[in-house]
């Protein structure tokens, strides 16, 4: 979807240089992915200390029953 944005040229050039990516489009897309990932991590971190741990929970038993899972299974 074509979009016109007024992006700070200095920031974009620095991001392009630091990322090593070849195009501005790829640099902006990567920056957006990283932004989203960090915000989701921040949401998860905010839960630390708020969730009670079940001492009887056996994560190894649960892992073998269900198989490997992805973080996306837990995020909305």
Mean pLDDT of the chain: 86
Q: Which residue's entry shows tokens 């989701």?
A: 40
Q: Which tokens sit at 21?
A: 């990516």
Locate all alpha helices (DSSP H) within 1-76, ordered by sequence: 9-19, 24-45, 59-66
Whether the model pTM is above 0.85: no
Question: What tokens appear for 46 in the block?
Answer: 């905010």
pLDDT at 35: 96
Query: What is the C-alpha separation between 52 and 7, in angstroms, rounded?
Result: 44
- Contact indicator for 15, 27 with CB cutoff of 8 Å: yes
pLDDT of residue 45: 87
Q: Are 27 and 19 in contact (CB under 8 A)?
A: yes
Average pLDDT over residues 11-31: 96
């Amino acid at each position: 979807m074509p979009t016109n944005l007024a992006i700070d040229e200095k920031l974009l050039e620095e991001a392009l240089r630091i990322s090593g990516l070849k195009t501005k489009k790829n640099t902006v897309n990567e920056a957006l992915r990283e932004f989203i990932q960090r915000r989701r991590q921040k949401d998860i971190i905010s839960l630390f200390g708020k969730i009670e741990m079940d001492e009887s929970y056996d994560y190894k038993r649960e892992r073998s029953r269900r198989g490997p899972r992805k973080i996306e299974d837990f995020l909305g």
